[in-house]
Amino acid sequence: MAKINRKKLAILILVCLVILLVPCSLTIDKVRVAANLSERGALGFNNLMADVLWVETIQYMGEAKKITDEIATTIYQKIERITDLDPHFIMAYRLAGLTLSNKRPELSIRILSKGLENNPGASWEIPFYAGVISYFRLEDYRGAVRYLEAATTHPECPDFIKRFLARATTEVGSYKDALLLWEGIYEETESPTERGIAARHLIRLCSQIMEISTDRNLVAKAKAILRKISE
Amino acid sequence: MNIWTIGVNSFKRLMRSKILYVMAVFCLITIAYASLYGTLTAGQEGKLMKDVGLAGIAAFSILVAILVGSTVVAKEIESKTIQILLAKPVKKHEFLLGEFLAAALTILMMTAIMGVGFLIIVAIKGIATAALVNGVVLVFFEAILLASIAIFFSTFFSGMVASVFTFIIFVFGHLTYQLPFLVQRAGNVVVKFFGNLLYFALPNLQYFNIRGPVAHNLNVPGSMIFAVIVYGLLYSSIMILASALVFKSKDFA
Amino acid sequence: MTSLAIKTENLTKVYRGGRGTKALDNLNLEVPVNQIYGFLGPNAAGKTTTIKLLLNLIAPTSGRAWVLGKEVSETDVRKDLGFLPENPYFYEDLSAEEFLDFFGKIFHIPRRDRVNKVEQLLTLVGLTEERKQILRRFSRGMLQRIGIAQALINDPKLIFLDEPITGLDPMGRKEIRNIISKVRAEGKTIFFCSHVLHDVELMCDHIGILCEGRLITTGKLDELLATKEVEISAEGLRGEALAKLEGRVKKLRKEENRIIFDVEEEALADEVVGLIKHYGGKRLSIVPKKESLEDFFLKAIGREEYKPDERREK
Ligand SMILES: Nc1ncnc2c1ncn2[C@@H]1O[C@H](COP(=O)(O)OP(=O)(O)O)[C@@H](O)[C@H]1O
Ligand SMILES: [Mg+2]
């Protein structure tokens, strides 16, 4: 008799535990949604897979001498996959945004705004890059202002952006601004790849300025920057 | 008391099996790889190291859990050593809990060694965060949960079959998060019911994966970590209790 | 019931899954204490099944069983039991010492006593030299011996030995027999399963014969094998005398120059001895005849020849 009761008790406890599992599960679901912890398959190894693809992409970009339309599209697709797997991979958005800005600015904006959506307030670089590209490449000034404003809400946003934003709302882009911005990126970034991209932009920009500009100050500045980069 | 004795004995024997050494070596390779991996890329070595390290810890902990969970009980049944033990004043649930304890200790040891090694390397790089510990802790509880499932399966099946089934549960456990979405779209009431049933019956292993956010230094609420641990322990208890019920009426011939 | 070490009532086991053969069929067994009880039967008779039922390792299909006066399902009763399984396989990663120590812990023997007990058992089974050796390296005979040591760790009152001697070489058999005799001398009850008749004949007080799940006979070995027959040997008898005597005895045979008479009953013996004298013969000896266990066993299971592995056709 006592034995049967023990078994029944065990089954009862089992049922209770199973029932408890449901509210526990629902609570976690709720907290996860609130904390914006998104699900990304890959059996829990999504980040690792993103990293593998990332290294691949970096290599691909390194090997590509010149970013053609085709290469830009491939990079875009790779970055899409990477950021699907790891939506918080800020650097992937940043790098893609800069790399694609010349050939495919619209893809660049697309990937940057995906980054902004997935990581609101996480980085000032993403909206800043989007702003710069909108401003200079797409000449979408309203969009640029919107992105730059988003960038300035970030506590670590450097002052030059705020200054640029102040003028961007009134003026249309110039070499001077472009120089200022790329120099800003060049100085601010901690990523060698990004720095390289910024350096290339600066070199092109500076040589353009030296060729066509009549503003002495600007030419002098361009020369100074070129010297700094070549060091 | 008996539980502890049996658990420590099995743990001791597990520690003497070569497979764990092999695992430890693989793990060291992974961590070394992680630190190598990081040096390659543009300003992201921190994230990459954390990702690869955490993924390595997760993979090996889960592997150890499936392997050990599906052998601790099954091996004693298959080699009939369980008969000697149960011929002594040992209750079947004591045996089961002892073996679960052995599996848990093994997993704890493996995860802890890997975790500490990882944290040291990360600390040397100067990118250690407290959240990484949380990530490793949840890996441990996921491994415990899988071990309890493996033990449950090994009360019916051979160790080999139990490990395969546990692996299948591992795969589906990481996919259950898609169920609510699928259930929503299903028109049929029966499909909806079974979808929901499946959602709560399968372990939601994605809960234990906070490795992404942790590697990115994103905030993971402590309350959620706590709730996930409770969930893991609850699920493991259910598995062990169910195993005990199966064991109660099992013949050890 | 306390004077009985084992008692079963209609104990029956049908294994699930198999062809539904009755491994054990209404076994009613009574084993007295302080005995070596030899449980005999060909392979697949159900001996191991009986032991497993008595140790509660498997559940009976029907019937009940008691050991040491308690129902077998009570965990506590196993405090006083020892068990050496058939073809023992042990934790092969443990050393002999660790192995025994582990079971000592299972019985909650305090540390110091445990150390002594392990020492004492290793001495008993002659494995003191191999104490640190890992069981994987043990030979079959050594495993059998450590298995017996393991079964004795708790000073059990009743010990189940399932085929402890089978499959060992003559030296090994002798060693195990010696160990069992020593254990027996300590006043323990031993339930000894075997299909090797010789071992049982040498050691057991009581036997039971099991065949195809049914208990055929049980009783004291001496009594079972005892017959009323008497064997008389004589010499110096002539042909005609032999012809005369042949009619009175059961069997008559010549051995060198002696004649051996098998006489059916003791009462007839006097008459035969008288006749031998009468015909001028000389009576050399007169002994009560004992049946060999093998003959008895074969008679019991109704077969001509003993092949342990054969299973009778239905
Ligand atoms: N686990 C089992 N499942 C199915 N049948 C079994 C099992 N164990 C034993 N049997 C069958 O039960 C019968 C008795 O076996 P057993 O008790 O091992 O005999 P013995 O020990 O006398 O050789 C045999 O026919 C055997 O095939
Ligand atoms: Mg047998």
Domains, chain A, with CATH or none: 1-63 (no CATH), 69-230 (1.25.40)
pLDDT tens profile B192-242: 888 888 888 899 998 999 888 888 888 888 889 999 999 999 999 999 999
Q: Which residues pair with C31 in a beta bridge?
A: C6
Supply the pTM of this predicted model: 0.84
Radius of gyration of chain A (CA): 25
C171 burial type by CB count under 10 A (0-12 exposed, 13-18 middle, 19+ buried)? exposed
Closest Cα to atom 18 of ligand 1:
C48
Residue B188 falls within a domain, yes or no? no
pLDDT tens profile A167-177: 666 555 567 77
**What pLDDT, on the 0 to 100 scale, is given for residue C312?**
45
Closest Cα to atom 8 of ligand 1:
B253
Question: Helix, strand or coil for residue B89?
Answer: coil
The closest-lying atom of ligand 1 relative to the alpha carbon of residue C18 is 4
Q: Is there a contact between B151 and B103 (Cβ–Cβ < 8 Å)?
A: yes
CA distance B75 to B90: 18
**What pLDDT, on the 0 to 100 scale, is given for residue C230?**
79
The residue range of the domain holding B43 is 2-174+209-248
Q: Indicate the pairing of strand C36-40 with strand C206-211.
A: parallel
Question: Cβ of B33 under 8 Å from any chain A Cβ?
Answer: no
Residue B190 falls within a domain, yes or no? no
Question: Cβ of C47 under 8 Å from any chain B Cβ?
Answer: no
Residue B192 falls within a domain, yes or no? no
**What pLDDT, on the 0 to 100 scale, is given for residue C1?**
43
Domains in chain C with CATH codes: 4-224 (3.40.50.300), 229-289 (3.30.70)
Q: Among C11, C15, C163, which residue has the most ligand 1 atoms within 8 Å of its CB, making it the best to mutate?
A: C15
> Measured between beta carbons, which residues in chain B are less than 8 angstroms from residue A89?
47, 216
Cα A76 from chain centroid (whole Å): 12
Residue B108 falls within a domain, yes or no? yes
Question: Cβ of B221 under 8 Å from any chain A Cβ?
Answer: yes
H or E segment to which residue B57 belongs: helix B45-78
Please name the member of C83, C90, C94 whose beta carbon is closest to the beta carbon of B87: C83
Cα B213 from chain centroid (whole Å): 20
- B235 → chain A, closest CA residue: A21
> HSE-up of B191 (CA within 13 Å, CB side)?
10
pLDDT band at B128 (very low <50, low <70, confident <90, very high): confident
- B247 → chain A, closest CA residue: A7
Q: A190, C53, A81: which is closest to B83 by C-alpha? A: C53
The residue assigned the tokens 């008459």 is C271
Q: B169, B147, B119, B115: which is closest to B11 by C-alpha? A: B147
pLDDT tens profile A44-91: 888 888 888 988 888 888 888 788 888 889 999 999 999 998 888 988
Residue B106 falls within a domain, yes or no? yes
Q: Is there a contact between B172 and B198 (Cβ–Cβ < 8 Å)?
A: no
**What pLDDT, on the 0 to 100 scale, is given for residue A2?**
54
pLDDT band at B41 (very low <50, low <70, confident <90, very high): low
Question: Helix, strand or coil for residue A83?
Answer: helix
- A222 — phi, psi (to 5°)? -60, -45
Distance, CA C214 to ligand 1 centroid (Å)?
13
Angle between helices B92-125 and B18-40 (to 10 degrees): 30
Mean pLDDT, residues A217-227 taken together: 84
Residue B197 falls within a domain, yes or no? no
Mean pLDDT (chain B, rounded): 88
The predicted complex's ipTM stands at: 0.87
CA angle C273, C277, C279 (to 5 degrees): 115
**What pLDDT, on the 0 to 100 scale, is given for residue A153?**
86
Q: Among C14, C19, C24, C48, which residue has the most ligand 1 atoms within 8 Å of its CB, making it the best to mutate?
A: C48
CA angle C267, C271, C272 (to 5 degrees): 105
CA distance C16 to B251: 10
pLDDT tens profile A113-131: 999 988 888 888 899 899 8
Q: A78, A135, A77, A142: which is closest to A101 by C-alpha? A: A135
Residue B191 falls within a domain, yes or no? no
Closest Cα to atom 16 of ligand 1:
C46
CA distance B170 to B232: 14
Question: Helix, strand or coil for residue C289?
Answer: strand
- Which tokens belong to A156? 């670590």
- C154 → chain B, closest CA residue: B88
Secondary structure letter of residue C215 according to DSSP: E
Q: C50, C4, C45, C44: which is closest to C27 by C-alpha? A: C50
Mean pLDDT, residues B87-97 taken together: 94
Give residues (CB < 6 A) around ligand 1.
Answer: B 253; C 15, 18, 21, 23, 41, 43-49
pLDDT tens profile C182-238: 888 888 999 999 888 888 888 888 889 898 888 888 888 777 777 777 778 888 777
> Measured between beta carbons, which residues in chain A are less than 8 angstroms from residue B228?
28
pLDDT band at B50 (very low <50, low <70, confident <90, very high): confident
Q: Among C11, C14, C21, C87, which residue has the most ligand 1 atoms within 8 Å of its CB, making it the best to mutate?
A: C21
Greatest Cα pair distance, chain A, in angstroms, is 104
**pLDDT per residue rounded down to tens, chain C (314 residues):** 448 899 999 999 998 876 777 889 999 999 988 889 999 888 888 999 999 999 999 999 999 999 998 999 888 999 999 999 988 888 989 999 999 999 999 999 999 999 999 999 999 999 999 999 999 999 888 999 999 999 999 999 999 999 988 878 888 888 888 999 888 888 899 999 988 888 888 888 888 989 888 888 888 877 777 777 777 888 877 777 777 777 777 777 777 778 888 777 777 777 778 878 887 778 777 777 777 777 777 777 776 666 666 544 43
* Count of structural domains, chain B: 1
Residue B231 falls within a domain, yes or no? yes
> HSE-up of A194 (CA within 13 Å, CB side)?
25
> Measured between beta carbons, which residues in chain B are less than 8 angstroms from residue C76?
89
